[in-house]
Amino acid sequence: MTIDLDASVVVSLFIADVHTGAADRLIASLREDAIVGELCALEFAACVSRGVRTGRLTEREAREALADFDEWRTFSTVAAPLSVADFDLATRLARDFATKLAAADALHLAGAIHAGARLASFDKRLIEAAQMRGEDVVSFE
């Protein structure tokens, strides 16, 4: 089985926050392949950019975080490109009012489902939506 890492987990790996310890422990204990897809890479870059705009990160820190992420992603994770089927499922998930998912979260969940991967996220709404569908998620409790 694989594990699909949401951007909330990946950001915590490269930018210290309240979840960094849990994210580090997860990665250290992995016995399966980790998926870090294009959507996660985009969200990571956007979070780093927001960090610069808000003054949380210097440009140098941001460039280092992006470089470290790129290297880690290349050598330590696997790709799972999104497909039309992923977008179709994401649309159905977003149209299900009970999931309360934003577009990016619906797409991330759809990709994890189609990859047959466990989902790792600190986003409670995303985890709840996955569990509502009976999907396997990582518990950080």
Q: How many other CB atoms are there within 10 angstroms of residue 99's CB atom?
A: 20
Instruction: Answer yes or no: is 60 within a domain.
Output: yes
The pLDDT, as a whole number, for residue 139 is 85
Tell me what the pLDDT averaged over the chain comes to: 96
Nearest 5°: phi and psi at 18? -65, -20
Instruction: Answer yes or no: is 104 within a domain.
Output: yes
Side chain identity at 128, as an amino acid letter?
E
CATH code at 104? 3.40.50.1010
Instruction: Answer yes or no: is 115 within a domain.
Output: yes
- Is 42 a residue whose pLDDT tops 80? yes
Instruction: Answer yes or no: is 82 within a domain.
Output: yes
- Is 141 a residue whose pLDDT tops 80? no
Q: What is the pLDDT of residues 53-67, one digit of tens each?
A: 999 999 999 999 999
116 Cβ partners below 8 Å, 6+ apart? Answer: 1, 2
Q: What is the pLDDT of residues 111-140, one digit of tens each?
A: 999 999 999 999 999 999 999 999 999 988
Numbers of helices and strands, H then E, in the chain:
7, 3
Supply the pTM of this predicted model. Answer: 0.93
Give the confidence band of 96 by pLDDT, cuts at 50, 70, 90: very high
Instruction: Answer yes or no: is 52 within a domain.
Output: yes
Instruction: Answer yes or no: is 139 within a domain.
Output: no
The pLDDT, as a whole number, for residue 140 is 86
The pLDDT, as a whole number, for residue 1 is 82
Q: How many domains does the chain have?
A: 1
Instruction: Answer yes or no: is 41 within a domain.
Output: yes
The pLDDT, as a whole number, for residue 61 is 98
Instruction: Answer yes or no: is 87 within a domain.
Output: yes
Burial class (CB in 10 A: 0-12, 13-18, 19+), 21: exposed
Structural domain of 55: 2-132
Q: What is the pLDDT of residues 65-89, one digit of tens each?
A: 999 999 999 999 999 999 999 999 9
